[in-house]
């Protein structure tokens, strides 16, 4: 039950964060805004990691540091910046469902790269996402 409560709090935090970005975009550019949000997130995460898991930080292998580096570059300069750019062009209401389709790309990539097979529930999920995107994108402004 506690785990579900924490997951709801996590989803609400991300939802609130998106609305704060939309409000911030009325005052400063996407580039500066992305940098500020990354900096704030880094300070918060760094304090927690260095205080609570200092030993684990010291024990990191070079391979892990480099792999997390690739993930970090995909997630932050690319993912977050493009996400904020989409919000500035589409608004938060339309860009949120587009961004939420990320698992669709994860599934397609897993199929292409790792050869995972597409089962019926996966196809049903893809169909729901694609129809949701169509409904969102074609909504009058």
Residues from 35 through 74 that contact another protein (CB under 8 A): 35-42, 44-46, 48-50, 52-53, 56-57, 60-61, 63-65, 67-74
- Compute the least distance from the CB of residue 95 to another protein, in Å: 5
Provide the sign of the torsion angle of the four alpha carbons 81, 84, 90, 93, taken in this order.
positive
117 binds another protein (CB under 8 A): no
Selected from 11, 62, 115, 117, the binder of another protein by CB under 8 A is: 11
CA distances from 135 to 1, 31, 47, 129 (A): 34, 30, 42, 10
- Compute the least distance from the CB of residue 118 to another protein, in Å: 10
Q: How many angstroms separate the CA atoms of 82 and 101, rounded?
A: 14
Query: Which residues between 71 and 110 bind another protein (CB under 8 A)?
Result: 71-83, 85-86, 88-110
- Compute the least distance from the CB of residue 30 to another protein, in Å: 9
- Compute the least distance from the CB of residue 23 to another protein, in Å: 5
Number of residues counted as binding another protein (CB under 8 A): 118
Residue 124 has, within 13 A of its CA and on its CB side, a CA count of 3
Provide the sign of the torsion angle of the four alpha carbons 11, 16, 19, 25, taken in this order.
negative
């Amino acid at each position: 039950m506690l785990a579900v409560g924490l997951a709801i709090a996590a989803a609400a935090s991300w939802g609130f964060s998106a609305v704060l970005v939309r409000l911030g975009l009325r005052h400063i550019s996407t580039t500066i805004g992305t940098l500020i949000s990354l900096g704030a997130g880094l300070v918060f995460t760094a304090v927690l990691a260095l205080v609570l898991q200092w030993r684990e930080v010291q024990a990191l292998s070079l391979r892990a540091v480099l792999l997390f580096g690739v993930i970090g570059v995909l997630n932050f300069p690319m993912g977050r910046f493009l996400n904020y750019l989409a919000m500035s062009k589409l608004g938060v209401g339309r860009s949120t469902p587009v961004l939420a389709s990320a698992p669709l790309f994860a599934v397609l990539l897993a199929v292409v790269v790792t050869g995972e097979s597409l089962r019926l529930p996966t196809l049903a999920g893809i169909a729901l996402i694609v129809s949701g995107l169509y409904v969102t994108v074609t909504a009058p402004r």
